[in-house]
Amino acid sequence: MALLSVENLRIYYNTPVGQVKAVDGVTFEVREGEVFGIAGESGCGKSTLVHSLILRKPPMVHVGGKAIFKGRDLMTLSEEEARKIRYTELSIIPQYAMNALNPTKKIKDIVWDLAREHGYRDRDEVEKLLRERLAMVKLSPKVADMYPVELSGGMRQRATMVVSTLLNPDLLIADEVTSALDVTTQRVVIELLHHFMEEGIVKSIIFVTHDLALLDKIADRVMILYAGKMAEIGPTEEIINDPAHPYTKLLLESLPKMGIQYKKKKLHGIPGYPISLLNPPSGCRFYTRCPHVMERCKEEEPPVVKVGDDHYAACHLLGGDSSE
């Protein structure tokens, strides 16, 4: 069952030189009980996409499409309605989680402010819950009485994870939460996210990363974004072992040899640079870098084609049967 259904979502930034089409017609769903990965190079619109689900502030504007979450369109919620569901139904661990906590407040005060805003009245009960959750992420209960600056980077990261999940949100968004961490700490964070799911603290997770190798360890399904559009979506194992889109193949080939391996080839980056989202080209957005480019790619946007069970990609090489 879908917890979140995003349909043809378009999120732009209004800038003095024109509109940046950061998310330009993206469709996907996040099912109950799954970790859904979103991957792609820096600047492809990952952060814009997930942040637009929580809060849209200028210059970010919602231009079209829907995001139905538990029966309501997140794009039409008032600020008050959005504030109510934040932390309790939909929560985000931000990209710079290590620095996300208010430095002037103790962890227990940050948590109390948050809980009180959502109708909690018993401070002892909230602090008891905080200590339980700190123990769950292997932090001492003393952390509750500390200021964020007194914690190391890794401890702050875990404290932020506790704050983001304290009120048991159905959907947790983890935006590049592992990118600033060493490999060992990355593993701990991924284990904790799994733990939150196993304990029923969260029902589903959207895990955003530029690092496809990480998704192999955490995600059930993956969506690959390129320049604000969906290139490919499907079960993680299939995307990694049998990618359909030329961009996904190149992304996998650019991975270091440690971790997952896609065929035994020499490591090389993707030629060229991501395109400008101010004036994206017509047709397929990847054609300027694609090794298989055809005339058609420059003019016609590729339809989304079913390439396997629950697996879809948008590329002219794959034929023309548009999916639903």
Ligand X SMILES: Nc1ncnc2c1ncn2[C@@H]1O[C@H](COP(=O)(O)OP(=O)(O)OP(=O)(O)O)[C@@H](O)[C@H]1O
Binding residues vs ligand X (CB under 6 A): 13, 15, 20, 22, 40, 42-48, 59, 176, 210, 277
Closest approach, Cβ 47 to ligand X, in A, equals 3
3-state secondary structure of 124: helix
State which residue, 229 or 311, has the beta carbon closest to ligand X.
Answer: 229
State which residue, 40 or 169, has the beta carbon closest to ligand X.
Answer: 40
Q: Which long-range contacts (CB under 8 A, 24 or more apart) does 313-321 make?
A: 313/231, 313/232, 313/233, 313/234, 313/244, 313/245, 313/248, 314/229, 314/230, 314/231, 314/232, 314/245, 314/284, 315/231, 315/244, 315/245, 315/246, 315/284, 316/284, 317/246, 317/292, 318/244
Closest approach, Cβ 138 to ligand X, in A, equals 28
State which residue, 66 or 210, has the beta carbon closest to ligand X.
Answer: 210
Closest approach, Cβ 15 to ligand X, in A, equals 5
State which residue, 276 or 322, has the beta carbon closest to ligand X.
Answer: 276
Closest approach, Cβ 227 to ligand X, in A, equals 8
State which residue, 23 or 162, has the beta carbon closest to ligand X.
Answer: 23
CA separation for the pair 197, 34 (Å, rounded): 9
CA separation for the pair 272, 178 (Å, rounded): 26
Closest approach, Cβ 60 to ligand X, in A, equals 7
